[in-house]
């Protein structure tokens, strides 16, 4: 299509600047290469039909005839076509630049800026043609097309930026002259991009059909980062800033080599191939800094976001263009910066006021960018922002670079009257540019200066299309409640909305509900196909080579399919990832303890959860260290996933404890500290998922492969639940030999259960059986982590009763209200009842919380709201009874309830009954709730006459990836026809997994069930992996030594077909 007019970007550049521009020398064409002979008309005519401007393409390429019939393949021909197209574009830019300089009679600063942009364009075109001249052309090793596209995309952006500077006077002679001169150049570059796209899409080559092909189709160009960001560079971005050796030091107090940053840059060597590190000490530096093109490989190292601050105040109202208003302008290539803040202090009334403009390959780590409108101008080339903070109001992340923002905090400020907040404004000009903005694992929320009371007065959108082919992706990010339900908005009434590409994927939070999003053709949500190419992994071409020398995970993308399929190598990647997570948890725990000045009970609980997390991480890494790695006997990945899943759940539980005060300093501190840990654990889980899914090994292709796909982790029960343990769960309780006896009448070793637990040996490897005789035990019992392998044996559900009454209304959290809390691993219990007697008016009141591997048989759990908290790890409940009202089976363990009686009680007025509330946090956690062969019905205290006054649902999603299965169970008539309900209006319903299979009874009719994407009924494929048989890896071996049926799965197909053995 024709180049869009500048009318829809008038706000961007409409004033001339008084800043001076530096002259750059341009490499003569003769010094670059010999002019290639153009190909023949017959071939180029077909090629040009694939461009946006075929007539211009044909005129450009057909000036000289050349017979190419002696070339044997089209790829070679197209290679020469591309060479010649870029060569002709360079000539056109050179000619236009000369004419502009010759006709420059008035003192117009924006003309100087345009000449500077033309110089940059020439540089990028010359760089793009260099890889096309390694003679002879080798089909097996084609040029780095993705890199070439990135350079051409930047060149096109430069020309458009120049035209925009005259947007208010395009009808004047000067504006019209520039538009007339530069529009053909943009179209010629567009044609070059289209030719590359045609090569990659239609010509089969070894590189273009694998990683490079994927990258070129939309990876934004960051694939070439390894070519400039050396292993040494990456280490500089990882180690603490204090130990980075500086080349020079800037300090306001005169203790360094310079007192201002600009002087340090001017003295840096031109076109340096080595890293030039400028350490900038604590202070506020009032400078507008430009790093010119000849100053390559510079790195800024500050002393912290709140310590090293660079500030300026240029803005649109005071006569600067958006392009020239930046506090820091980066043009010199391969720029790095970390641990500092860049501010434009102009204020919202001054409109466009850029803090940072980047026109180069650059990476930023632990940096902060603060302004209002147009804070961060990601102008062109490829850029990575990791763990940064960006503050602003209107279009405050904008430009046409290939820009990834990973784990960044995006803070929306209060705008001025009449404005709306827009986070991104991406400016992709052409469908073949590999540019865009990708926000990954970010947090988007209101800034502290945007109070809740005023947020309803201003709409806040994720983005709007600055140009016709605008492309923005928001993935796996927290979206605060200020996000408008539509999500995105048009630039103006003339915006072309059919050609944009806007994607949302697996976001969460109150602003992540996509049900009322825009209905544009180019808007998509939760499509794996759409987002796969926009992850960091996809961006980084050659990742296997350079990532080995860094602290980055090898398989860091949404999928790791581009990783080398080497199990041993991936094994070490997993080792290292868990090791780094352990270090992060240890550091966070130490800081929390050091800064704990107030007497806050929940902080103590969080420290306890961090201890549990450390234990589970350490246990998860142990199986990864039996040297040497043996492909024929890989580690127990399902067990490791279960431990990692539990560790993630612990961190989330801590954060939830501050859910009522997340805006306070303490709550925000914990959220900030622990969220990165959860994400690191998520990455570890994703690496295991990749290994199990893509690496063919004897274990991963059989039982373990099935288990990893959703068996909730109970596959490892045989490793701790010995044949003797299982027999203890089967024989009559009276003949079980106890280690100690608890009896209220004094006939045993103890009269209370807590005393028996305290005297149990720590970290016992043998079973410690506590027999609890008939009686009502008024105790709140905790089995701590060091008390492993304990077993409770009661004398019957109606005989041995443990009771407590802690609850939410009386000041306890859900987590701390349990009558019985089990943390010590490998716990067994049978033939007893656990009650929380608080009553329904006291809301959350847990009877049992389990944070360990545990199994229960013939037990009863009674409360109202939140009866049974299956917090984490793997749990089996067989032939038990659970009574409750709201979310009374909940948590994020891998929990099976087999042949259980589930009794729904009468709730209080205004409540609805919900049986399950599963809290799976991550798609790779092997957790969930599975109800098998159960009976679900009304409790005796819920009379028929009152059941119509209260809805009863099978479950609701406590977290985005909630997973619950109800199979082969009796569903009573109290079950609502919809079956399931949302947690609230913000629930993410597209990522849940809820399954019903072969249930029966009056509540089992599925014809009016919810229509959610993740809801399925009566699918054998869906449920087979959730049976006990599938859960219990190696079941055939250990089940023989128990009284359990040998063939307990959905089918008996895995049993040995030997009738004598089965009997």
Q: Residue 642: what pLDDT?
A: 85
Average pLDDT of the segment spanning 646-666? 76
DSSP state of 882: E
10 domain-assigned = no
Q: Among residues 633, 648, 645, 649, which one has the least CA distance to residue 571?
A: 633
Torsion of CA 1031, 1035, 1038, 1040, to 10 degrees: 130
Is the domain of 439 the same as that of 385? yes
Which tokens belong to 342?
A: 């860049």
Active site residue 449: no
Average pLDDT of the segment spanning 477-490? 92
At 539, is the secondary structure helix, strand, or coil? helix
Average pLDDT of the segment spanning 521-534? 74
Which tokens belong to 702?
A: 């059989």
Which range in 30-39, 392-401, 672-681 is most confidently predicted, on average pLDDT?
392-401
Which range in 48-52, 734-738, 798-802, 1054-1058 is most confidently predicted, on average pLDDT?
798-802
Q: Residue 331: what pLDDT?
A: 94
Is the domain of 276 the same as that of 411? yes
- Rounded to the nearest 5°, which phi and psi values hold at 332? -60, 135
Residue 334 has pLDDT above 80, yes or no: yes
Q: In terms of residues, how long is the chain?
A: 1063
Residue 858 has pLDDT above 80, yes or no: yes
Residue 26 has pLDDT above 60, yes or no: no
Residue 724 has pLDDT above 90, yes or no: no
Residue 172 has pLDDT above 60, yes or no: yes
Average pLDDT of the segment spanning 382-396? 93
Q: Among residues 234, 147, 229, 922, which one has the least CA distance to residue 553?
A: 234
Residue 539 has pLDDT above 70, yes or no: no
User: Of 395, 513, 530, 715, which one is the catalytic site residue?
Assistant: 395
Is the domain of 132 the same as that of 188? yes
Q: Residue 1062: what pLDDT?
A: 24
Is the domain of 255 the same as that of 355? yes
434 domain-assigned = yes
The domain in which residue 638 lies consists of 566-695
* pLDDT grade for 350, boundaries at 50, 70 and 90: very high
Residue 652 has pLDDT above 80, yes or no: yes
Q: 92 with 54: CB under 8 angstroms?
A: no
- Rounded to the nearest 5°, which phi and psi values hold at 400? -130, 35
Of 665, 695, 725, the last residue of a domain is 695
24 domain-assigned = no
Is the domain of 331 the same as that of 419? yes
Average pLDDT of the segment spanning 308-315? 97
Q: Residue 576: what pLDDT?
A: 83
Average pLDDT of the segment spanning 558-567? 38
Q: Percent of the chain, pLDDT > 70? A: 79
1036 domain-assigned = no
Q: Residue 591: what pLDDT?
A: 86
- Burial class for 174, CB neighbours closer than 10 Å (0-12, 13-18, 19+): middle
Average pLDDT of the segment spanning 192-214? 62
Q: Residue 12: what pLDDT?
A: 35
* pLDDT grade for 29, boundaries at 50, 70 and 90: very low
* pLDDT grade for 70, boundaries at 50, 70 and 90: low
Q: Where residue 78 sits, what CATH number does that domain have?
A: 1.20.140.40
Q: Among residues 354, 351, 294, 347, which one has the least CA distance to residue 324?
A: 354
Is the domain of 375 the same as that of 490? yes
Q: 896 with 876: CB under 8 angstroms?
A: yes
Average pLDDT of the segment spanning 636-651? 88
Q: Residue 170: what pLDDT?
A: 45
Is the domain of 497 the same as that of 572? no
* Strand 421-426 relative to strand 501-505, pairing: unpaired
1054 domain-assigned = no
Q: 513 with 507: CB under 8 angstroms?
A: no
Poorest-pLDDT segment among 79-83, 1009-1013, 1058-1062: 1058-1062
Cα separation of 345 and 312, whole Å? 6
Residue 856: CB partners within 8 Å, gap ≥ 6?
828, 829, 830, 875, 876, 877, 878, 880
Q: Residue 735: what pLDDT?
A: 87
Q: Among residues 330, 357, 447, 327, which one has the least CA distance to residue 393?
A: 447
Of 695, 712, 747, the last residue of a domain is 695
Residue 561 has pLDDT above 80, yes or no: no
Cα separation of 667 and 672, whole Å? 9
Q: Residue 751: what pLDDT?
A: 97
Residue 919 has pLDDT above 70, yes or no: yes
Q: Where residue 371 sits, what CATH number does that domain have?
A: 2.160.20.10
Average pLDDT of the segment spanning 688-717? 45
Is the domain of 674 the same as that of 614? yes
Cα separation of 749 and 727, whole Å? 24
Which range in 200-204, 549-553, 778-782 is most confidently predicted, on average pLDDT?
778-782
* pLDDT grade for 784, boundaries at 50, 70 and 90: very high
Residue 549 has pLDDT above 50, yes or no: no
Is the domain of 239 the same as that of 353? yes
pLDDT higher for 816 or 75? 816
Residue 552 has pLDDT above 70, yes or no: no
Q: Among residues 150, 687, 760, 684, which one has the least CA distance to residue 402?
A: 150
Q: Residue 420: what pLDDT?
A: 95
Q: Among residues 928, 933, 934, which one has the least CA distance to residue 993?
A: 928
Is the domain of 745 the same as that of 804? yes
Ramachandran region of residue 1061, left (φ > 0), alpha (ψ -120 to 50) or beta? alpha
Active site residue 395: yes
pLDDT higher for 814 or 73? 814
Q: Calculate the average pLDDT of the chain.
A: 81
Residue 808 has pLDDT above 70, yes or no: yes
Average pLDDT of the segment spanning 949-962? 95
Cα separation of 808 and 843, whole Å? 6
Q: Among residues 464, 326, 445, which one has the least CA distance to residue 395?
A: 464
Residue 15 has pLDDT above 50, yes or no: no
Cα separation of 355 and 311, whole Å? 8
* pLDDT grade for 545, boundaries at 50, 70 and 90: very low
* pLDDT grade for 452, boundaries at 50, 70 and 90: confident
750 domain-assigned = yes
Q: Residue 179: what pLDDT?
A: 86
- Rounded to the nearest 5°, which phi and psi values hold at 936? -115, 120
* pLDDT grade for 449, boundaries at 50, 70 and 90: confident
Which tokens belong to 811?
A: 């000041």
Is the domain of 463 the same as that of 584? no
State how many domains the chain has. 5
Cα separation of 407 and 358, whole Å? 20
Poorest-pLDDT segment among 658-662, 890-894, 904-908, 982-986: 658-662
Ramachandran region of residue 839, left (φ > 0), alpha (ψ -120 to 50) or beta? left
Q: Residue 621: what pLDDT?
A: 87
Instruction: Summarize pLDDT for 84-108 with one digit per residue, the tens.
Output: 899 999 999 999 998 888 877 667 7
- Burial class for 71, CB neighbours closer than 10 Å (0-12, 13-18, 19+): middle
Q: Among residues 649, 643, 646, which one has the least CA distance to residue 674?
A: 649
For residue 620, count other CB atoms closer than 10 A to its CB. 28
* pLDDT grade for 317, boundaries at 50, 70 and 90: very high
User: Of 119, 887, 922, 976, which one is the catalytic site residue?
Assistant: 887
Q: Residue 478: what pLDDT?
A: 82
Cα separation of 941 and 938, whole Å? 8
For residue 136, count other CB atoms closer than 10 A to its CB. 5
* pLDDT grade for 66, boundaries at 50, 70 and 90: very low
Cα separation of 773 and 768, whole Å? 16
Is the domain of 836 the same as that of 980? no
User: CA-CA distances (angstroms) from residue 378 to 216, 246, 265, 342?
Assistant: 20, 27, 21, 14
Average pLDDT of the segment spanning 725-746? 88
- Rounded to the nearest 5°, which phi and psi values hold at 202? -115, -20
Which range in 325-334, 643-652, 939-948 is most confidently predicted, on average pLDDT?
325-334
Q: HEC string of 363-404?
A: EEEEEEEECCECCEEEEECEEEEECCEEEECEEEEEECCEEE
Residue 950: CB partners within 8 Å, gap ≥ 6?
906, 907, 911, 912, 913
1058 domain-assigned = no
Residue 542 has pLDDT above 70, yes or no: no
- Rounded to the nearest 5°, which phi and psi values hold at 917? -145, 90
286 domain-assigned = yes
Instruction: Summarize pLDDT for 1018-1037 with one digit per residue, the tens.
Output: 776 666 656 554 543 322 33
Q: Residue 1038: what pLDDT?
A: 26
Instruction: Summarize pLDDT for 685-697 with one digit per residue, the tens.
Output: 988 888 877 764 4
Q: 38 with 63: CB under 8 angstroms?
A: yes
pLDDT higher for 294 or 601? 294
* pLDDT grade for 138, boundaries at 50, 70 and 90: low
């Amino acid at each position: 299509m024709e180049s869009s007019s500048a009318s829809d970007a008038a706000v961007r550049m409409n004033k001339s600047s008084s800043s001076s521009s530096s002259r750059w020398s341009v490499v003569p064409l003769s010094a670059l290469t010999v002019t290639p002979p153009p190909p023949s008309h017959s071939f180029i005519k077909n090629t040009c039909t694939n461009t946006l401007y075929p007539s211009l393409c044909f005129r450009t390429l057909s000036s000289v005839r050349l017979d190419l019939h002696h070339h044997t393949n089209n790829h070679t021909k197209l290679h020469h076509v591309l060479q010649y197209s870029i060569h002709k574009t360079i000539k056109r830019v050179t000619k236009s630049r000369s004419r502009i300089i010759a006709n420059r009679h008035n003192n117009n600063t924006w003309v100087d800026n345009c000449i500077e942009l033309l110089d940059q364009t020439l540089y990028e075109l010359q760089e793009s043609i260099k890889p096309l001249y390694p003679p002879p052309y080798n089909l097996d090793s084609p040029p780095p097309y993705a890199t070439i596209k990135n350079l051409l995309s930047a060149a096109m952006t430069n020309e458009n930026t120049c035209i925009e500077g005259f947007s208010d006077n395009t009808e004047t002679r000067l504006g019209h002259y520039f538009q007339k001169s530069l529009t053909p150049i943009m179209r010629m570059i567009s044609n070059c991009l289209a030719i590359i796209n045609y090569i990659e899409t239609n010509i089969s080559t070894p590189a273009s059909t694998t990683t490079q092909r994927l990258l070129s189709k939309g990876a934004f160009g960051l694939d070439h980062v390894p070519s400039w960001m050396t292993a040494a560079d990456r280490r500089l971005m990882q180690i603490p800033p204090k130990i980075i050796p500086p080349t020079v030091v800037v300090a306001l107090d005169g203790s360094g080599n310079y007192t201002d940053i600009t002087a340090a840059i001017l003295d840096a060597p031109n076109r340096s191939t080595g890293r030039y590190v400028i350490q900038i000490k604590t202070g506020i530096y009032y400078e507008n800094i430009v790093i010119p093109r000849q100053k390559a490989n510079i790195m800024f190292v500050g002393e912290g976001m709140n310590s090293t601050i660079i500030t300026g105040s240029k803005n649109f109202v005071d006569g600067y263009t958006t392009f020239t208003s930046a506090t820091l302008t980066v043009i010199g290539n391969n720029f790095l910066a970390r641990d500092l803040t860049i501010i434009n202090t102009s204020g919202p009334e001054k409109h466009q006021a850029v803090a940072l403009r980047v026109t180069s390959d650059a990476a930023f780590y632990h940096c902060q960018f603060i302004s209002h409108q147009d804070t961060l101008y990601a102008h062109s080339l490829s850029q990575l922002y990791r763990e940064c903070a960006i503050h602003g109001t209107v279009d405050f992340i904008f430009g046409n670079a290939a820009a990834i923002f990973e784990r960044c905090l995006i803070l929306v400020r209060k705008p001025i009257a009449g404005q709306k907040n827009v986070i991104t404004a991406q400016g992709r000009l052409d469908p073949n540019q590999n540019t865009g903005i990708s926000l990954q694992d970010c947090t988007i929320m209101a800034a502290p200066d945007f109070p809740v009371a005023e947020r309803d007065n201003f709409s806040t959108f994720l983005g709007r299309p600055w140009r016709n082919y605008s492309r923005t992706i928001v993935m796996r990010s927290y979206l605060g409640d200020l996000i408008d339900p539509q999500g995105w908005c048009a630039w103006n009434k003339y915006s072309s909305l059919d050609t944009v590409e806007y994607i949302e994927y697996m976001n969460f939070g109150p602003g992540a509900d996509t049900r009322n999003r825009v209905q544009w053709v180019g808007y998509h949500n939760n499509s794996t196909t759409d987002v796969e190419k926009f992850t960091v992994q996809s961006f980084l071409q050659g990742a296997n080579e350079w990532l080995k020398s860094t602290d980055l995970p090898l398989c860091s993308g949404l999928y790791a399919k581009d990783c080398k399929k080497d199990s041993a190598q991936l094994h070490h990647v997993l080792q290292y990832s868990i090791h780094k997570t352990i270090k992060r948890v240890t550091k966070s725990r130490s800081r929390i303890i050091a800064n704990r000045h107030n007497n806050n009970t929940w902080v103590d609980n969080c420290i306890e959860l961090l201890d549990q997390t450390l234990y589970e991480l350490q246990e998860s890494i142990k199986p990864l260290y039996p040297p040497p790695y043996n492909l024929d006997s890989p580690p127990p990945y399902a067990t490791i996933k279960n431990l990692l899943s539990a560790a993630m759940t612990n961190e989330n539980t801590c954060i939830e404890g501050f859910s009522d005060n997340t805006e306070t300093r303490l709550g925000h501190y914990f959220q900030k500290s622990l969220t990165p840990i959860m994400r690191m654990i998520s990455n570890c889980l994703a690496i295991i998922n990749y290994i199990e899914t893509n690496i063919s090994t004897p274990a991963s292709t059989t039982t373990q492969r099935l288990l990893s796909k959703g068996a909730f982790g109970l596959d490892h029960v045989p490793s701790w639940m010995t044949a003797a343990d299982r027999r203890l769960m089967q024989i009559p309780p009276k003949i079980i030999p106890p280690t100690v006896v608890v009896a209220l009448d004094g006939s045993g070793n103890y009269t209370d259960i807590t005393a028996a637990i305290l005297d149990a040996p720590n970290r016992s490897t043998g079973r410690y059986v506590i027999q609890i005789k008939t009686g009502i035990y008024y105790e709140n019992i905790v089995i701590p982590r060091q008390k492993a392998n304990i077993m409770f044996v009661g004398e019957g559900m109606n005989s041995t009763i443990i009771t407590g009454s802690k609850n939410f209304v009386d000041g306890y959290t859900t987590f701390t209200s349990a009558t019985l809390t089990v943390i010590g691993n490998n716990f067994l219990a049978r033939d007893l009842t656990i009650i929380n007697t608080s009553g329904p008016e006291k809301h959350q009141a847990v009877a049992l919380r389990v944070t360990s591997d545990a199994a229960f048989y013939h037990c009863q759990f009674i409360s109202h709201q939140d009866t049974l908290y299956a917090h984490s790890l793997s749990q089996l409940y067989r032939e038990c009874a659970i009574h409750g009202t709201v979310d009374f089976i909940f948590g994020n363990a891998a929990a099976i309830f087999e042949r259980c009686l589930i009794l729904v009680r009468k709730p209080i007025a205004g409540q609805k009954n919900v049986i399950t509330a599963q809290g799976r946090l991550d798609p790779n956690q092997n957790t969930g709730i599975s109800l098998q062969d159960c009976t679900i019905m009304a409790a005796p205290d819920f009379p028929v006459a009152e059941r119509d006054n209260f809805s009863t649902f099978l479950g609701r999603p406590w977290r985005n990836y909630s997973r619950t299965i109800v199979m082969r169970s009796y569903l009573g008539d109290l079950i609502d026809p919809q079956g399931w309900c949302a947690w609230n209006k913000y629930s993410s319903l597209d990522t849940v997994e809820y399954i019903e299979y072969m249930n029966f009874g009056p509540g089992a009719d599925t014809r009016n069930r919810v229509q959610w994407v993740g809801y399925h009924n009566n699918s054998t494929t869906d449920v087979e992996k959730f049976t006990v048989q599938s859960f219990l890896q190696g079941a055939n071996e250990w089940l023989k030594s128990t009284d359990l049926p040998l063939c307990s799965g959905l089918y008996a197909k895995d049993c040995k077909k030997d009738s004598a053995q089965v009997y």
